[in-house]
């Protein structure tokens, strides 16, 4: 095994176990809370939440008849609320 590959494997192992890199002192719980808050979607990015989703097709058809509107059928396999379709 050459020295370059050995160094790369050592660095990857240390990084995987969190050894050697240390933790920046400015990344405390408040920093994490602020970072999470800053990364939350804006109201403009969450406009899909304003859609009046029907819980099932029967309810959607009933509402469509009442309001003389079409039904948009959206199907998926995943968890839409976390952005994984």
Could you give the CA distance from residue 77 to residue 5 in angstroms, rounded to a whole number? 41
Q: Is 46 a domain residue?
A: no
Could you give the CA distance from residue 27 to residue 47 in angstroms, rounded to a whole number? 32
Looking at the structure of the chain, the number of domains it has is 1
Task: Calculate the average pLDDT of the chain.
Answer: 79
Instruction: Render pLDDT for 32-62 as a digit per residue (tens, 0 to 9).
Output: 999 999 999 998 888 888 888 898 999 999 9
Residue span of the structural domain in which 73 resides:
54-79
For the chain, give the longest Cα–Cα distance.
Answer: 74
Instruction: Render pLDDT for 6-39 as a digit per residue (tens, 0 to 9).
Output: 676 667 766 666 555 556 667 788 989 999 999 9
Q: Is 61 a domain residue?
A: yes
**pLDDT for the residue numbered 34:** 93
Is the pTM above the cut of 0.85? no
């Amino acid at each position: 095994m050459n020295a370059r590959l050995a160094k790369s494997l050592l660095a990857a192992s240390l990084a995987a176990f969190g050894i050697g890199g240390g933790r920046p002192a400015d990344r405390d719980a408040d920093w994490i809370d602020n970072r999470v808050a800053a990364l939350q979607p804006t109201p403009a990015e969450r406009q899909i939440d304003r859609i009046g989703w029907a819980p099932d097709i029967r309810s959607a058809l009933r509402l469509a008849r009442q309001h003389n509107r079409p039904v948009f059928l959206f199907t998926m396999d995943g968890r839409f609320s976390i952005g994984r379709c």
